[in-house]
Amino acid sequence: VATVEIIAIGDELLSGETVDTNSSFLDAFVESRGHRVLRHVSVPDDEGAIAEAFREAASRTEVVLSTGGLGPTQDDVTMGALARALGCELRLDEPTLAAIRDRYRSMNREMSENNIRQAMVPEVGEVIENRSGTAPAFTCQLGMAKVFILPGVPREVRWLVAHQLPNRLPVSAVQIWRRTIKVMGVGESQLETRIREVIRTHPEVRFGFRTSLPENHVKLFATGVDAQQQIQDAEEAVRAVLGLDVFGADDDALVGVLFSKLQAIGRTVAVAESCTGGRIQAAITSLAGSSEVFRGGVVAYSNDLKKRMLGVRPSSLEAFGAVSEEVASEMAAGVRSVCGADYGLSVTGVAGPEGGSSDKPLGTVWLGFATATEVKAHRFLFPGDRELIQAIAAGMGLDLLRRELMGVAI
């Protein structure tokens, strides 16, 4: 496993203009090769600062990857900075200059004088051909580190990573295994508390936690010859503790898991939404083939529609209000029968920012669930602003359905 540092170069990365997507892209590549990124550094288009960043990175990591600053203009100084770090001069690379000339000729454009700058590379090292742009990439040895210089244009980075880096950054011989266990309905700190014993009894596995509301993820990481088995054992132990709170792993998506279950048991669902404005139905219908499991639904925002379209009783609305157990239950039962589905799901709540009260504060949400024989509703209090409350409510609605169906035999 090689240690890697990534240097992102460009004034625009330090002024709020450009988000550094190149570094994350390179992270994923490095990770897929079985190596480890230990640090990201961002530096402005300043020759001294870039040279120093190269020297520092090379002194503490085995591989250094940089992007940016290879353009034809005076403010792109990465090659000069690398030469400075190497203690050598720049030289004109004739094949690169010829390639740049050809490129312009094939586009029927005149090459300008400053493009010659893009053919200037350090005397020590090797040019890497870049067929997706004019600036070449470059590699050299700096101290103990292998350095790769890439352009800043994301499309060019992708091309070079796909075509030129794989054979230059071989796959690590050491086995690395990862697994992401996905959880709904359990907060991060509660999650850690619940699996504390599993963490303690699996010291060879590294545990990490990631929140992506309303989901929480437990990340497992292990290296070595036994890593796969260690990860499997740890996952089994986590699942044993968390039970139904785990909805999937790695690439599983909540709505996909729900969809597969409905498909497997050959049942359909209909949805009545108030405060989520259709988000649950949008999520279900984002999957191809959803007509197999999704009958349809209603966005019933006004009380009037809740009565007329879903059969919610006027007395329930008057006595308990739209955000209540009774109304959530009647919405779920109503949409189920109106749409002719096996299951009815409903959501009604206070997404705010206005409308909260002491007994129904902002974030109060009722989720309802109905089958042919039973109806129930659950009360929640979700955190955040309007957007977050809506997103969490939609996710928890899908999750309620998933939990109800998990016990249903195929």
Instruction: Give the shortest CB-23-to-ligand ATP separation in angstroms.
Output: 6
- Answer for which of 4, 6, 7, 20 binds ligand ATP (CB under 6 A) is 20
C-alpha of 158 from chain center: 18
7, 10, 185, 339: residue in contact with Mg ion (rule CB under 5 A): 10
Residue 363 binds to ligand ATP (criterion: CB under 6 A) = no
Contact 221, 175 (CB under 8 A): no
Helix, strand and coil in the chain, % to nearest 5: 40, 25, 35
Give me the least distance between CB of 50 and Mg ion, in Å please.
Answer: 11
Give the nearer residue to Mg ion in terms of CB position, either 79 or 401. Answer: 79
Please give the size of the binding site for ligand ATP, defined by CB under 6 A: 22
Please report where in the chains the tokens 């300043």 appear, as a residue: 46
Question: What is the smallest separation between the CB atom of 405 and ligand ATP, expressed in angstroms?
Answer: 42
Site string for Mg ion, 58-97 (x = CB under 5 A): -----------x----------------------------
Distance separating alpha carbons of residues 121 and 103, to the nearest angstrom: 19
**Residue 69 or 185 having the CB closest to ligand ATP:** 69
From the CB of 104, what's the least distance to ligand ATP, in Å?
Answer: 14
**70 is a contact residue toward ligand ATP (CB under 6 A):** yes
Residues in 138-157 that interact with ligand ATP by CB under 6 A: 151-154, 156
DSSP assignment string, 35-48: -EEEEEEEE-S-HH
- 136 touching ligand ATP, by CB under 6 A: no
Selected from 1, 12, 278, 299, the binder of ligand ATP by CB under 6 A is 12
Residue 134 or 216: the one with the smaller Cβ distance to ligand ATP is 134
DSSP state of 111: P
Separation CA 165–CA 128 (nearest Å): 9
Question: Applying CB under 6 A, does 68 fall inside the site for ligand ATP?
Answer: yes
Amino acid in the structure at residue 110: E
Distances (CA, A) of 245 to 188, 226, 240, 269, 400: 13, 28, 10, 21, 11
241 burial type by CB count under 10 A (0-12 exposed, 13-18 middle, 19+ buried): middle
Among 43, 85, 119, 135, binds ligand ATP (CB under 6 A): 135
By a kind-dependent CB cut-off of 5 to 8 A, residue 70 interacts, out of Mg ion, ligand ATP, none, with ligand ATP
CB 70 to Mg ion: min, Å: 8
Task: Decide the pairing of beta strands 120-122 and 90-92.
Answer: antiparallel
Strand 145-150 and strand 137-142: the pairing is: antiparallel
Peptide bond connecting 122 to the previous residue in cis, omega within 30 degrees of 0: no
Q: Which of 4, 71, 93, 258 binds ligand ATP (CB under 6 A)?
A: 71
Q: Output the CA–CA distances (angstroms, integers) from residue 352 to 43, 259, 361, in the order listed.
A: 42, 30, 9
Could you give the CA distance from residue 129 to residue 163 in angstroms, rounded to a whole number? 10
Cα-trace Rg, the chain: 28
Residue among 260, 239, 237, 233 at smallest CA distance from 186 = 239
DSSP state of 245: G
State the binding partner of 67 from Mg ion, ligand ATP, none, CB within 5 to 8 A by kind: ligand ATP
53 binds ligand ATP (CB under 6 A): no
> Cβ atoms within 10 A of the Cβ of 73, count?
10
Q: Is 21 in the site for ligand ATP (CB under 6 A)?
A: yes
User: Which DSSP helix (H) or strand (E) runs through 216?
Assistant: strand 215-223
96's contact among Mg ion, ligand ATP, none, with CB below 5 to 8 A by partner kind, is none
Q: Does 80 bind ligand ATP (CB under 6 A)?
A: no
Question: Is 18 near ligand ATP (CB under 6 A)?
Answer: yes
**297 contact, one of ligand ATP, Mg ion, none, CB 5-8 Å limit per kind:** none
Number of H helices, E strands in the chain: 14, 17
CB of 10 to ligand ATP, least distance (A): 4
Do residues 178 and 217 touch, judged by C-beta distance below 8 A? no
Q: How far is the CB of 103 from Mg ion (least distance, A)?
A: 19
Give the nearer residue to ligand ATP in terms of CB position, either 133 or 248.
133
**Cβ 152 to Mg ion, closest distance in Å?**
5
Catalog residues that contact ligand ATP under the rule CB under 6 A. 8, 10, 12-13, 18, 20-23, 67-71, 76, 133, 135, 151-154, 156
Catalog residues that contact Mg ion under the rule CB under 5 A. 10, 69
